Amino acid sequence: MSKVKAAVFASGTGSNFQAMLDEDDFPCEIVLLVSDQEQAGVLKKAMQHGIETFVFSAKDYESKEAYEAEIAEQLKRKGIEWVFLAGYMRLIGPTLLQAYEGKIVNIHPSYLPAFPGKDAIGQAFEAGVRQTGVTVHFIDEGMDTGPIIRQEAVSILANDTKETLQKRIQKVEHRLYPQVIRELIQK
C-alpha cells in the first residue's frame, strides 16, 4: 500500500519535522517542506533527507492570497493529501483552507484554548500556572482556534525554567504528533 503524500510547513528548527522522519513505519511520505524563513534550521533537515523545499518571503507577494495560491500550486504539483504545521508562524488563509479543508493539522505547545499564538510556553511560564500542555488540532481561520483532536497536559514544576519546560513539552510533542497523524491517516 502506498503512503499518503504530505507536506510539512515550518518556520524554525524543525524538531517536530524530525520526529516525524524518525518514526518507524510512518504512514506519510513527506514530499515537501514549506517555510517562510530562508534561514530556518528545518531546511537543512529537509535537505539531509532529500525532501524538496519551497521557501518564500511574504513580502515578495502582493497579498496573502498570492503567496498561498503559489503554495497551493506547489502542493498540487506534488500530489499532497495532508498538510502538517510544525512551528509554522503564519495564519493559514482561505486559499489553503478551502483547498485542504479538514486536512491541515497543527501542533501547539499549550493546552488550548489557554495561551494561543506565539511563545505559548513563555506565556504559560509567566502566567504562573501549574499546568500547560500540548494540543493537536485542525486548522481554521483563527489563531489556534480549530477543532481539537487530542491534548496532553504537562505540569509546570516549581524548579522549572522556561527552557526545562520547553524540553518537556517538546518531548510530549515528538511522541504525540506522529501518533495523532498515524490515527488520522489510518481512519
In the chain, how many domains are there? 1
Q: What is the mean pLDDT of residues 126-140?
A: 96
pLDDT band, very low/low/confident/very high, at 19 (cuts 50, 70, 90): very high
CB atoms within 10 A of CB 134: 26
Q: Of 106, 76, 87, whose CA–CA distance to 5 is shortest?
A: 76
Domain containing residue 8: 4-185
CB atoms within 10 A of CB 41: 16
For residue 118, the model assigns a pLDDT of: 93
For residue 25, the model assigns a pLDDT of: 87
Distance of alpha carbon 85 from alpha carbon 92, whole angstroms: 10
Q: Of 81, 105, 111, whose CA–CA distance to 177 is shortest?
A: 105
108 a catalytic residue: yes
pLDDT per residue over 75-117, tens digit each?
A: 999 999 999 999 998 999 999 999 999 999 999 999 999 999 9
For residue 1, the model assigns a pLDDT of: 56
CATH code for position 131: 3.40.50.170
Distance of alpha carbon 125 from alpha carbon 71, whole angstroms: 35
Q: What is the mean pLDDT of residues 129-142?
A: 96
Q: What is the mean pLDDT of residues 168-186?
A: 96
Exactly one of 49, 108, 137, 174 is catalytic; name it.
Answer: 108
Distance of alpha carbon 104 from alpha carbon 138, whole angstroms: 6
Rounded to two decimals, what is the model's pTM? 0.95
Q: Are 143 and 174 in contact (CB under 8 A)?
A: no
For residue 187, the model assigns a pLDDT of: 75
Alpha-carbon dihedral angle through residues 66, 103, 111, 153, given to the nearest 10 degrees: -140
